[in-house]
Structure 1
Amino acid sequence: MIRIVLADDEAMIRAGVRAILATDEEVEVVAEAADGREAVELVRAHRPDIALLDIRMPRLDGLSAAAELRAATPEVAVVMLTTFDEDEYVSRALDEGVRSFLLKASDPRELITGVRAVADGAAYLSPRIARKVIERLSGGRLSRAGVAREHVRSLTAREREVLALVGRGMSNQDIGRELFLSQGTVKAHVSAILLRLGLNNRVQAAIIAYEAGLVPGDA
């Protein structure tokens, strides 16, 4: 069972997200919060698998809540709910260990896909915001497309295959099935990719995969 604490200051949004998650029998919303401070308290109390947080909330915004959770409950994965006009926060969110970005207006199936991917240890970027994320980050610590392609050329053919699947939000288990590799081998490839490209996590790797053209923008 994937246990989730859901936080959003809008009751209707919470109800909608909860209803979508309820369609998956292996997902359970164990608590709901109307602000970031309450979310942190509930996560500490319930120790869920995932904290699903809105970026903008009263008392404590989602990014500040993610920072506190990273320090207090690092084993809890943070998934951020966002909208197109909020993606300027993505760079900071990466620093706070956020594992996934999902659009509130996206296909409901994407919410389930993202939650499951994160629960399996993967990162997940909503494809519809991936290009906007890249645009925001390309002028900073992540490379522009040309430089990204140069960096990716330093990887082996197998590592490029793994990186492309990381960009599609696949977990190590899913990548192993796709490429007929053991999970241990996939984990070793992912670690090598992060080290060679100077990245901190799978979200950054997924963005590089998009930036280098390994994943179609409408995937």
Structure 2
Amino acid sequence: MIRIALADDHAIIRDGIRALLSGEDDLQVVAEASNGRQLLALLPTVAVDVVLLDINMPDMDGYETLQRLRNDYPQVHVLMLSMLSHEEYINRMLEAGAMGYVLKNVGKAEMHFAIRTVAEGRQFLCTELGIELLHKLCSRGEKAPVEGEKKATCTLSRRETEVLRLIGEGFTTSEIAEKLFTSKRTIETHRQNIIDKTQVRNTAALIKFAVTQGLL
């Protein structure tokens, strides 16, 4: 069971996340707070594995809260949840110790996958941000290797290559499952296998790898 604490100053967002997580036997919301100070006051009284943490909150914001969490509760993994998509915010939070960063418009299946990934101590970046950061990298002059350049050794199955192509096109886990006539859990498994085989840490790195190695 993954025990989750929500920290967001909007009750409607917390209610929405609860609804997204309902029905998942291994995910349970055990605490809620409207700011970082409230969250830190709750943590000594309840066991938490993952904190879903907003950035812009009154009294104590997400950045200060994240720093306190890393110092006082290093065993708790933090997944940032925000509408801020600028890479400055993403880099700042990841460098401060967050294990992942997702936008508030993320789909149900990707939210589940993000929480499970972060709970295992692995980094996660939602697909929309991965695509956006990849476009920025490409616009700065990074490009796929020309024909004849040596590619990294990486053997993906036909279905894994299909899943990777669809991830690169920006489709969500649910949309990929629908297109390939399979379950979301199967797509999550393929996605994790791809990450393991390519030895990247998150979606942005995965897509960059796929482009630079000519897999997309």
- TM-score normalized by the length of structure 1: 0.66
Unaligned runs of 5+ in 2: 168-172, 174-188
CA gap 1:96/1:13 in 2 versus in 1, 3 angstroms = same
- Counterpart position of 2:125: 125
Which residue type is aligned with residue 153 of structure 2?
A
Structure 2: distance between partners of 1:26 and 1:130: 26
Describe the SS at the equivalent of 2:210: coil
Pair 31,100 (structure 1): closer, same or farther in 2 beyond 3 Å: same
Alignment CA distance shift 1:89-1:154 (3 Å): farther
Alignment match of 2:206 (pick from 189, 205, 209): 209
1:157 pairs with 153, 157, 167, which one?
153
User: Partners of 2:35 and 2:58 in 1: how far apart?
Assistant: 5
Distance change >3 Å, CA 17–CA 133, structure 1 → 2: same
Q: Which has the larger radius of gyration?
A: 2
For the 8 Å contact 2:85–2:129, the answer to whether it is kept is: no
Give the aligned partner of residue 110 of structure 1. Answer: 110
Identical amino acids, percent of aligned pairs: 30
Q: CA deviation at 1:213?
A: 3.2
State the secondary structure of the residue aligned to 1:59. coil
How far, CA to CA, are the matches of 2:150 and 2:142 in structure 1?
15
Q: Which runs of 5+ in 1 are unaligned?
A: 180-185, 195-201
Q: Distance in 2 between matches of 1:125 and 1:154?
A: 28
1:131, distance to aligned residue in structure 2 (A):
2.9
Is residue 40 from structure 1 mapped to residue 37 from structure 2 by the alignment? no
Distance 1:210 1:52 in 2: 25
Structure-2 residue corresponding to 1:97: 97
Tell me the distance in 2 between the aligned counterparts of 1:178 and 1:52. Answer: 25
Matched AA of 1:208: A
> 1:5, 1:42 within 8 Å by CA — same for their partners in 2?
no
Corresponding letter in the other structure for 2:22:
A
Q: Is the 8 A contact 1:90 1:133 kept in 2?
A: no
**Post-superposition shift, 1:64?**
1.7
SS of the equivalent of 1:79 reads: strand
Kindly tell me the number of residue pairs found equivalent between the two proteins: 183
Per the alignment, residue 198 of structure 1 pairs with none
Mean alpha-carbon deviation: is it higher for 103-112 or for 41-50? 41-50
Aligned residue for 1:145, secondary structure, equals coil
Structure 2 length as normaliser, TM-score?
0.67
Contact 1:5 1:32 in 2 (8 A): yes
The answer to whether the 8 Å contact 2:130/2:205 transfers is no
Partner of 1:199: none
What residue is the counterpart of 1:78 in the other structure? 78
1:4 to 2:4 alignment: yes
Alpha-carbon distance change, 72 to 145 in structure 1, aligned in 2, over 3 angstroms: farther
State the Cα distance separating 1:99 from its structure 2 match: 1.3
Which is further off, 102-111 or 79-88? 79-88
Distance 2:98 2:116 in 1: 15
C-alpha offsets along residues 103-159 of structure 1, whole Å, 9 cap, x if unaligned? 2112122211211222233222110111334567x59xxx9634x97xxx999514x
Amino acid corresponding to residue 18 of structure 2 in structure 1 = R
Residue 179 of structure 2 aligns with which residue?
Answer: none
Maintained 8 Å contact 1:81/1:103 = yes
